[in-house]
Structure 1
Amino acid sequence: MKRWSILVMVSVFLLGLGGMAQATLVSTFDSDTENWTTEGATSPSWTSPGFIQAYDNAGSWWRFVSPNGWDGNWSGYIGGSISYDIVPINNNANQHEHNIEIWSGSNYMYWGVANEPAKGVWTTFTVALTDANFTEVGDTFSNILQNVTALKILGDLRGGTGTGDTTGLDNVRVNAIPLPGAVWLLGSGLLRLLGLRRIRRN
């Protein structure tokens, strides 16, 4: 096989690996709400120095809801992670479960962990996007991720029956699993080696 053919094959291999990694979904709310909404609370408002907050005015469970631009096939994020920062603004939290819900139409899956941040204390939540970490309702883990219609983050840190709690949200990220650095080093090394050999031969 000619060396130029090998170079092309290695290049295609590396480009294919690059296409496997989905771009990170991220909202840092540096200047606005980035089209996030809520359900069961006031519409989120942007607050300096850069986060969103909402107020429970309905007395039911309420959540922050991702923008439409985040909808779609999340299969490329399997094995990656979801993380966000949250803060109770005017009361201590007294519960925090079903932290994250990922919806696909009427089906969804959820992850929760017991953690009750104190008033004014930012807490980071992180979960690996694996089947073992989520409980599915109505469909399978893989099917839900193939057509995500909303990521919902619990904002109701004071329970679901009362009103009055205000919650802040920041730094929401959905990360794909990173490709091993060794794979890139191997491919780059092969390209360099073949290129040098071709130069020397010429």
Structure 2
Amino acid sequence: MKQKQTFTDTIAAQVAEFRPTFDAQIGPALAEVFALEQEELRRAGIPKGIARVGDTLPEALVYDDRGRPVPLREVLGAAAAIIVFYRGGWCPYCSIALQTYQRELSPLAETFGTRLIAISPQDPGIAGDMAHEKGLFLPLYSDASNALASRLGIVTTPGPEATLARIALGVDVAGSNMGRTPRLPFPTVVVADATGTIRFIDVQVDYTNRTETSDIIDALVAL
């Protein structure tokens, strides 16, 4: 089963429409800082040692919306899973992606009997409040100090200039994260089968880019 998707539905198209307005709102100085950050991330490329297709999802604790630790295997149960790693509710590109996945993937995941969850390093209360503001009802879990993301090899540390630029916008990344760490996961989508074996993993080093729903659906159908 595959949804027909036009270019205007893609996350890339939504980002292309959103970005000029966002850059105008934050001003040219901050926009240049973030553009340089994105260029550096693209130049560095995908890090070595990331999880690969065929690997088993690592054992890890994640935290539910009440801050209770739950083993990842218990969250997923005996079902295939789509796991979306996002940076935090403060990231507008994450919001675009999550809203798209909620709209386009949630019904399919239910049809396939597949778990669809999103994971960030944010404190559960902060993540939940931001999700509520944006109308998100996807199951959200928190990865304290990026423990799970680190085991998958998908963690990065923003540079000082970008960190200060976000603080200027009122975003305290470290202060909102569990463990008070400034580190963030690369936006990543993992599709795992019912045994916990990774069948698809897509890591986006430039956080303005995201895995398109059509690629996730293809991976789901291939299970």
**TM-score, normalising length: structure 2:** 0.27
Q: Which has the larger radius of gyration?
A: 1
Q: Which has the higher helix share?
A: 2
Q: Which structure has more strand as a fraction of its residues?
A: 1
TM-score (norm 1): 0.29
